[in-house]
Amino acid sequence: MKDLIEIRWHGRGGQGAKTASLLLADAAFNTGKFIQGFPEYGPERMGAPITAYNRISVNPIRIHSNIYEPDFVVVVDDTLLSSVDVTAGLKKEGAIVINTTKTIDELKPLLKGYEGRVFAIDARAVSEEALGKYFPNTPMLASIVKVSEVMSEEDFIKDMEGSFKHKFAKKPEVIEGNMKALTLALEQVKQLQ
């Protein structure tokens, strides 16, 4: 991992992009890193486009501004591709990770000539198989961990198990499904050529 990794999340209100960015910050913190996880609140409501950010660094983080030249971008909902400039400033050495079933030929015109790597995951299929419901943020979280290599998959899984036990202390029945969503996503996220 580089000394500083910057990640930008694009989602829709209610899909859990903000929660996913906070969980990623949590997990990276537990591997000893300095972290920031913050949402950009707008006139936010269910379904409206939202942005969230992560900085993960080996050094203390002092800057307090949004991220304009991210190393990685996560798109939680591919309907955003036509309305939001998701690749704006995205470094070509980095990558974009999209929740989609589209092919690379279908995606290309939507990515405004982005030259870096493009990864796809069908987070709907993963979520519905693992949880029986559509919560795209858990598979997207696992996907960005894998693509960005901010931590090992092993550390990530171990840490998330602890987080879910804490987060879902009152509904332990959902822990197994969420863990399954993570492991399925780690297997299924693929680079599109």
Partner 1 sequence: MSIRERLSGNEATAYAMKQINPDVVAAFPITPSTEIPQYFSTYVANGQVDTEFVAVESEHSAMSACIGAEAAGARAMTATSANGLEYMWEMVQIASSSRLPIVMGLVNRAISGPLNIHCDHTDAMSVRDAGWIMLFSENNQEAYDNMLMAHRIAEHKDVMLPLMVCQDGFITSHAIEAIQLEEDEKVKAFVGEYHPEHYLLDRDNPIAVGPMDLQPYLTEHKKQQAVAMANAKQVILDVAKEFEDMTGRHYEFFERYQMDDAEFVIVCMNSTAGTVKTVVDELREQGIKAGLLKIRVFRPFPGEEIADALRNAKAVAVLDKVPLVSNVGGPLYEDITSSMFNRGVHVNTINYTYGVGGRDVTADQIKSVYHDLQYTTDMSVPYRFLGLKEGK
- Residue 39 binds to partner 1 (criterion: CB under 8 A): yes
Closer CB to partner 1, 66 or 191, in the complex: 66
**Residue found by looking up tokens 């929660």 in the block:** 19
Residues of this chain, 63-122, that bind partner 1 according to CB under 8 A: 63-66, 68
Question: Is residue 157 at the binding interface for partner 1, with CB under 8 A as the rule?
Answer: no
Pick from 190, 5, 9: nearest CA to 86: 9
User: Is 166 a binder of partner 1 (CB under 8 A)?
Assistant: no
Is 26 one of the binding residues for partner 1 (CB under 8 A)? yes
The residue count for binding partner 1 (CB under 8 A) is 19
Is position 1 an interface residue for partner 1 (rule: CB under 8 A)? Answer: no
Q: Give the separation between CA 130 and CA 124, rounded to whole angstroms.
A: 10
Contacts 24+ apart (CB under 8 A), 57-63: 57/3, 57/4, 57/5, 57/33, 58/1, 58/3, 58/4, 58/33, 58/34, 59/3, 59/4, 59/34, 60/34, 61/4, 61/34, 61/35, 61/36
- 26 vs 155, beta carbon nearer partner 1: 26
Task: Tell whether residue 36 is a contact of partner 1 (CB under 8 A).
Answer: yes
The phi and psi torsions of 38 (rounded to 5 degrees) equal -150, 145
Name which of residues 48 to 67 contact partner 1 (CB under 8 A): 60-66
Shortest spacing between CB 105 and partner 1, in angstroms: 35
Nearer to partner 1, 58 or 104 (CB): 58
Strand partners, 72: 7, 95
Q: Of the two residues 69 and 187, which places its CB atom closer to partner 1 in the complex? A: 69
Interface residues with partner 1 (CB under 8 A)? 22, 25-26, 29, 34-39, 41, 60-66, 68
